[in-house]
Amino acid sequence: MLEILEKISNIYKKEDAEVLVKAYYYARNAHKGQKRASGEEYFTHPYAVAEILISLGMDYTTVSSAFLHDVIEDTPATEEDIRREFGEEILTLVTGVTKLDKIEFKSHEEEQAENFKKIFISMAKDIRVIIIKLADRLHNMRSLNFLSKERQLTDEELVEQTNLRKEYIKQFRAGFRQHLEGIRVVDPEGNDVTPLKKGEA
């Protein structure tokens, strides 16, 4: 798992890499002892999500948030802990991803409608929340065979009924390049954190 740290040091400037390394170890320690359905350490999941986002050229804040995206929901860490250790911007992205999963539904139709509503609201606030969530879902989809049959059907039906499964595969096979070109991504302070600008390889 240490390969990603070498990748981080080669890609990001020193001060950004320091935040990423801190997020890596914070999440790894927070998830220590937790297991996935596959039997792997739970940290392999946020690690994989962060790796996907690094490959897409996302900024250090987004990748740090990917490492941390399940920490508040699945470990004793609190929002105040994340704010204190990583600041308000990363906390906002982490809680944004967490909130996408927190609403309970009375019917499948209500769930589908609410999914679109949550996506649009999150995009209005910060599109990076959606990018993290897409990477999260991609890795979960890759792991579907390790889940129970009942859970597999639930996840597969959700993706099929919202017509997102083909789009996920298409987007990530293309490295999100076609979808990100020309989209300007700005953080809450107005800094341009667009991962891929038009004309870039």
Q: Is the pLDDT of residue 179 over 50?
A: no
Residues 6+ apart with CB under 8 A from 71: 26, 27, 30, 31, 77, 82, 94
Q: Is residue 70, in this structure, part of any structural domain at all?
A: yes
Q: Is residue 78, in this structure, part of any structural domain at all?
A: yes
Instruction: Read off the CATH number of the domain in which 166 is found.
Output: 1.10.3210.10
What's the Cα-to-Cα distance from 43 to each of 6, 62, 86, 97, 162, rounded to whole Å? 18, 17, 19, 17, 28
Query: What pLDDT shows up at residue 201?
Result: 45
Range ranked top by mean pLDDT from 11-15, 131-135, 180-184: 11-15
Q: What proportion of the chain, given as a percentage, has pLDDT over 70?
A: 58
Q: Is residue 163, in this structure, part of any structural domain at all?
A: yes
Nearest to 54 by CA among 167, 131, 144: 131
- What is the mean pLDDT of the segment spanning 49-78? 94
What's the Cα-to-Cα distance from 93 to each of 14, 149, 158, rounded to whole Å? 22, 32, 23
Task: Show which residues are catalytic.
Answer: 73-74
Q: Is residue 141, in this structure, part of any structural domain at all?
A: yes
126 or 13, greater pLDDT? 13
Domain count of the chain? Answer: 1
Q: Is residue 199, in this structure, part of any structural domain at all?
A: no
124 or 70, greater pLDDT? 70
- 195: confidence class by pLDDT, cuts 50, 70, 90: low
For residue 24, what are the domain limits?
A: 3-180
Residues 6+ apart with CB under 8 A from 115: 158, 162
Please state the φ and ψ torsions of residue 187, each to the nearest 5 degrees. Answer: -80, 175
pLDDT in tens, 88-133: 999 999 998 887 766 544 445 555 555 556 555 655 478 888 889 8
Q: Is residue 190, in this structure, part of any structural domain at all?
A: no
Q: Is residue 79, in this structure, part of any structural domain at all?
A: yes
What is the value of pTM for the model shown? 0.68
